[in-house]
Amino acid sequence: MILEGNFAQRKKGYPQGSLFFVSSLCNVGLAPLVVLCGLLVTVGCTTAPKTGEPVVLQGEAQGTTFAITYWPVSETPASERVADSIQRYLVAFNKVASAWDTGSVISRWNRGMVFRDGEPVEWNRLLQEGQRIKNLTNGWMDPQVGRFTTDWGFNGQKAVLGTGNPSADSARIRELMGLTKPIYDVNAYAQGRSVDGVAQILKHFGTAHALVEIGGELYALGGRPDGSDFQVAVDAPTEVRKGKPITVVGLKNRGMATSGNYRKFQVDPKSGMRYGHTLNPFTGWTARTDLLSATVLAPSSSEADGVATALMAMGLNKAKELVQKHPEWDVVLVYSNPSGVWEVYSTLE
CATH number at residue 208: 3.10.520.10
Q: What pLDDT was estimated at residue 242?
A: 57
Give yes or no for residue 2 having a pLDDT over 70: no
Q: What pLDDT is stored for residue 37 in this prediction?
A: 24
Tens digits of residue pLDDT in 8-22:
334 444 333 333 333
In this prediction, residue 268 carries a pLDDT of: 46
Q: Which residues contact 339 (CB under 8 A, 6 or more apart)?
A: none
Confirm whether 31 is domain-assigned. yes
Classify residue 50: in a domain, yes or no.
Answer: yes
Q: Rounded to an integer, what distance in angstroms lies between the CA atom of residue 116 and that of residue 131?
A: 20
Span 293-309, pLDDT tens digits:
999 999 999 999 999 99
User: Has residue 11 been placed in a domain?
Assistant: no
Task: Identify whether 292 is part of a domain.
Answer: no
Domain that holds residue 239: 19-99+189-252
Exposed, middle or buried by CB within 10 Å (0-12, 13-18, 19+), for 242? exposed
Q: Which among 107, 127, 116 is positioned nearest to 193, based on CA atoms? A: 127
Residue 84 belongs to a domain: yes
Q: CA-to-CA distance for 39 and 156, rounded, in angstroms?
A: 19
The rounded mean pLDDT for the chain is 80
Those residues whose C-beta lies under 8 Å from the C-beta of residue 82, and which sit 6 or more positions away, are 55, 70, 72, 76, 201, 202, 205
What confidence score (pLDDT) does residue 75 get? 73
**Residue 153 has what pLDDT?**
82
Is the CB of residue 139 less than 8 Å from the CB of residue 280? no
Residue 104, in any domain of the structure: no
Give 231's strand partners. 250
pLDDT at 287: 85
Looking at the DSSP bridge assignments, the partners of residue 286 are: 279
Across the range 167-172, mean pLDDT stands at 92
117 vs 283, more confident: 283
Residue 145 lies in a domain: no
CA dihedral 286, 152, 173, 192 (to 10 degrees): -60
What integer pLDDT is reported at residue 47 of this predicted model?
A: 36
Instruction: Sheet with 265-267: list strands edge to edge.
Output: 265-267, 274-279, 286-289
> How many domains in the chain?
1
Strand order in the sheet with 19-23: 33-36, 39-45, 19-23, 55-61, 64-70, 210-214, 217-221, 254-260, 291-298, 330-336, 342-346
Percent of the chain with pLDDT over 90: 52
Q: Using one digit for the tens of pLDDT, what is the confidence trace for 218-245? A: 999 999 999 999 999 987 765 555 557 8
Contact 331, 294 (CB under 8 A): yes
DSSP state of 2: B
**What is the pLDDT at residue 5?**
38
Rounded Cα–Cα distance for residues 153 and 165 (Å): 15
Residue 229 is assigned to a structural domain of this protein: yes
This prediction's pTM: 0.83
Q: Please choose, from the candidates 308, 80, 107, the residue with its C-alpha nearest in 3D space to the C-alpha of residue 191.
A: 308
pLDDT 10s digits, 176-224: 999 888 899 999 999 999 999 999 999 999 999 999 999 999 999 999 9
Q: In this model, does residue 29 exceed pLDDT 80? A: no
Looking at residue 39, its pLDDT comes to: 27
CA distance 229 to 242: 27
